[in-house]
Amino acid sequence: MTNWPKLAHDIAEDVLFPAASSVDADGEIPVSHFEALAEAGFYAMAAPPETGGPTLELEDLVAVVETLCGGCLATSFTWMQHHGVVAGLAGSPNPALRERYWDGLLAGTVRAGVAFAGAIPQPPLLYARRVDGGYVLDGVAPFVTGWGIVDVLQLSARDEFDDSIVHALVTAGPADGIAVEDLPLIAARGSNTVRMRFDGFEVADDRVVNVASPEQFRAGQTFGSWLNACMATGVTRRCLAELAETGCDTTRLADEVSGVRANLDAAQSGRGDLFAARAQASELALRAAAALVAATGSAAALSGSTAERLVREATLTMVAASRPQIRSALLDRFGANAER
C-alpha cells in the first residue's frame, strides 16, 4: 500500500522546497515539478478508486496537500486546481467528454485548471445563456490559476434564467470571445494567475461537464473551502520546521496548528464553523511566519529570504479562495470588526 504522506514529504523536501525561492524570484515553475507529481500518482487523487484513483483517507489527503503546500506554494496552488476537474468529470453525465480526457488527467499528461469564482457571487460575475447547441458565456472569471500551464480549463457560470451552474471543459488557450489579464500576485509567483473576460464565448453541448443546482454547487464549494485551508496549515508547518532549525521551541505553535486542523475537520463534518476555522488557519500562518522573521533576524528583511517569502505566502492564504464570511472572521480576529 502506498504511503501517500511519506511520498509527498519526499517530493516536498527533495524537489519542491529546494527550488521554492528561485520559483518565487523567477515567477516560473519548472515542468519537472509537475512531472514529479505525475510520476508519483498525485494527479489521480480525486478520482474514485473504481475509475483508477487511489484509496485515500481524508487525513492522508490533508497530509499530502499540506506537505506539498509547505514545499512550494506556487506549484501546489497550481496543482490543486486539477482535482476540481477530475472530481467534476468523475460524476459527469457526459461520458464522451470524460473518456476523451480521463486517462491523461489521471496520468498528469493532461493538466487542468478551474474557474469557479465568476459563478459564486450573487449577482454572479459570469453568466451562461442557453442557445441552440450549447451556451454563450459573458462576464468575468476574476481569479484563474495556471494559464499557460494547464491544458484544459473548467469554466463555471450561472445560467441567467434559472440560476443553475453550468460547468464546461474547454481548451486553455486564446480563443474568440476571451481576453486575459495577468494578475501579479504577491506570492505563489509562477502560478500564472489571470483574470479572464468573456464576451460572447461559445461553448458547445459536448463540452458541458454538468449543469448543477445551486445547492449542489454550494456543497462542492464547501468541500473545496475546507481543502483550501491546507494552504495556510501547510505554510504554518513549513514555518515550524524552519523555526526548529533556528533552535526555537515550537511546542505552543505546533499545538495551535493541531487545534486548527481539529476545528477545520469538525467544521467539515458539520460540527463547527468552517469560515471561522479558515480564518483561524490564516491568522496562525501569519503569526508563525512573523515568528520566523523574528527568529531569522535582519536577514529576513532581504527580499527572497525564506522568512520573507513565507510571510507573503501566509498573507495570500487570507484572500485566495476566500469568501465574505472568511473576510469578516479574519477582521474580527484582527480587531477590525467588518460591520464598522
Q: Are residues 242 and 264 in the same domain?
A: yes
Q: Are residues 252 and 324 in the same domain?
A: yes
Sequence-distant (6+) residues with CB within 8 A of 323 are 120, 225, 275
Q: Are residues 188 and 130 in the same domain?
A: yes
Q: Are residues 235 and 301 in the same domain?
A: yes
CB 246, CB 296: distance < 8 Å: yes
Identity at 196, one-letter amino acid code = M
Q: Are residues 152 and 134 in the same domain?
A: yes
Grouped pLDDT means (10 residues each) for the chain, 340 residues = 94 98 97 98 95 91 97 98 96 97 98 95 94 98 97 97 96 97 96 98 98 91 92 98 97 97 94 96 98 97 96 96 91 80
176 lies in some domain: yes
Report the CATH number that the domain containing residue 95 is assigned in CATH: 1.10.540.10
Q: What was the pLDDT predicted at 128?
A: 97
Domain boundary, last residue among 150, 177, 212: 212
If one counts every other C-beta atom within 10 angstroms of the C-beta of residue 165, the result is 24
Q: What was the pLDDT predicted at 339?
A: 59
CB 129, CB 136: distance < 8 Å: yes
Q: How many domains does the chain divide into?
A: 3
Q: Are residues 169 and 252 in the same domain?
A: no
Alpha-carbon 37 to chain mean position: 15
Q: What was the pLDDT predicted at 338?
A: 57
Dihedral sign of CA atoms 90, 201, 191, 262 in order: negative
What are the Cα distances from residue 278, in Å, to 137, 230, 231, 325?
32, 9, 10, 10
Report the CATH number that the domain containing residue 283 is assigned in CATH: 1.20.140.10
For 144, the domain range is: 112-212
Q: What was the pLDDT predicted at 245?
A: 96
Q: Are residues 177 and 243 in the same domain?
A: no
Rounded to whole angstroms, the Cα distance separating 196 from 178 reads 7
Domain boundary, last residue among 212, 247, 274: 212
Cell of 223: 468541500
Q: What was the pLDDT predicted at 1?
A: 76
Domain boundary, last residue among 59, 91, 107: 107
Q: Are residues 262 and 206 in the same domain?
A: no
- The single residue listed with the C-alpha cell 498525485 is 42
296 lies in some domain: yes
Q: What was the pLDDT predicted at 218?
A: 87
339 lies in some domain: no
Name the percent of the chain in helix, strand, coil, to the closest 5.
55, 15, 25
Sequence-distant (6+) residues with CB within 8 A of 219 are none
- The residue ranges of DSSP E strands in 76-115, in sequence order, are 112-115
Q: Are residues 203 and 247 in the same domain?
A: no
Report the CATH number that the domain containing residue 196 is assigned in CATH: 2.40.110.10
